[in-house]
Amino acid sequence: MHEIDPRDFTSHDRDDRRPGLSRGGHGEHAARGPERATDDPRDIAVRHVNLPSGPRREPVRVRGRDYTLNGDQSRVLATVGAFRVVSSHDLEVSFGRAGDHRSADLRHLRENGLIDTVARPGHGDRTVTLTERGRDLLEAQRWPNEGGGGARQAFYAGVRKPRELEHDVQVYRAYREAADRVTSRGGRLHRVVLDYELKREYQRFLQERNRGRADGDGRPDRDDDEIAAWAVDHHLPYFDEQVHLPDVRIEYEDIDGRSREEDVEVTTPHYRGAHAAAVTRSGFSSYGGMSSRVSAGRGSGRGRGGGRDPRLAEEMLS
């Protein structure tokens, strides 16, 4: 579980549509349209953008810059953007040679200024993140009707907190195991929502009455009943006067076509005592990062995450 920190809400995390970006429309990928959902966990992010999908590199133009991408590079780029930071080892497991930090694919993305890679001390791989240029490319290539019904995939650039990098780099791995479990039951995946996005929405709710008020002191005036109702509406647990948020939420439709969520928390050996009890009580699916084990939680509209005391909300940035 993470404490709320104003640095969680940086310019990297904005989900606004950026104006003035040239849309793609080149080659084979221009004729494709976004699918309603996917049963391939590797494609949950790339399905939201209009990028090349074939084996050959095709041109993509953004902000007057020309790039070339093939399908594997498109998938890597979208995946890294959706999860903020992913290890090259996990990319290689998902996408084969294209994810290897020594591969021509990752080198091509890095040399074009779309990704950054940093060695992980004590590991044989590297962490991969988007640059602002890489995020701009994904934002520019969204499908025109992408985001209908509130299912717009967020993309991120840069590392949030270096001290939490080892935790954050395991989120994609936790997602893959949970998503495999969902699709094995016939589920079709829509998008992933990281805790940053849930925090931001919670903050907007808490501060809604303060916006535009010159006499406001920045402290939320929501009472416990209002906060509890917000949590219920967003399928999040509320207990001990806290809304609990998962590390990652998977939005999907089940085999009967009903909208569902699977909420997942990355746990580590230091989760003990009250901390571990809160994780269990929240009913999320927990991923033991150090042991690579997943235990199935209730999922399906339930979630957890670090305890977020609403009284700390005034410390968060809008």
Burial classification of residue 183, based on how many CB atoms lie within 10 Å of its CB (0-12 exposed, 13-18 middle, 19 or more buried):
middle
Question: By three-state DSSP, how is residue 88 classified?
Answer: helix
Tell me the percentage of the chain whose pLDDT exceeds 70. Answer: 70
Amino acid at 49: V
Q: What is the rounded distance in angstroms from the CA atom of residue 294 to the CA atom of residue 31?
A: 39
Give me the mean pLDDT over the 42-51 stretch.
96
User: Mean pLDDT throughout 77-90?
Assistant: 97
Establish how many alpha carbons lie within 13 A of residue 69's alpha carbon, considering only the half-sphere containing its beta carbon: 34
| Mean pLDDT over each residue of the chain, to the nearest integer | 78
Element (H, E) at 94: helix 88-95
Please say if the pLDDT value at position 206 is more than 70.
yes
Q: Tell me, what's the pLDDT at 100?
A: 84
Residue closest to 239 by CA, chosen among 271, 193, 280: 280
| Model confidence pLDDT, tens digit, residues 240-280 | 888 999 999 999 999 999 999 999 998 866 655 556 566 66
Lowest mean pLDDT among 7-21, 67-81, 128-142, 158-172: 7-21
**Around Cβ 228, how many Cβ atoms within 10 Å?**
16
Instruction: Give 76's DSSP letter.
Output: H
Q: How confident is the model at residue 284 (pLDDT cuts 50, 70, 90)?
A: confident
Q: Tell me the three state secondary structure of residue 192.
A: strand
Please tell me the distance from the alpha carbon of residue 54 to that of residue 32, in angstroms, as a whole number.
11
| 151 and 16 Cβ atoms separated by less than 8 Å | no
- d(CA 250, CA 61) in angstroms, rounded, equals 31
Q: What integer pLDDT is reported at residue 207 of this predicted model?
A: 87
What is the pLDDT, as a whole number, of residue 127? 95
Average pLDDT, stretch 219-226?
84
* Spatial contact of 208 and 313, defined as CB atoms under 8 Å apart: no
Per-residue pLDDT at 305: 35
Average pLDDT of the segment spanning 34-42: 82
Bridge partners of residue 253, in order along the sequence: 188, 259
Report how far residue 213's alpha carbon sits from residue 150's, in angstroms, rounded to the nearest whole number.
28
Residue with the bigger pLDDT between 35 and 209: it is 209
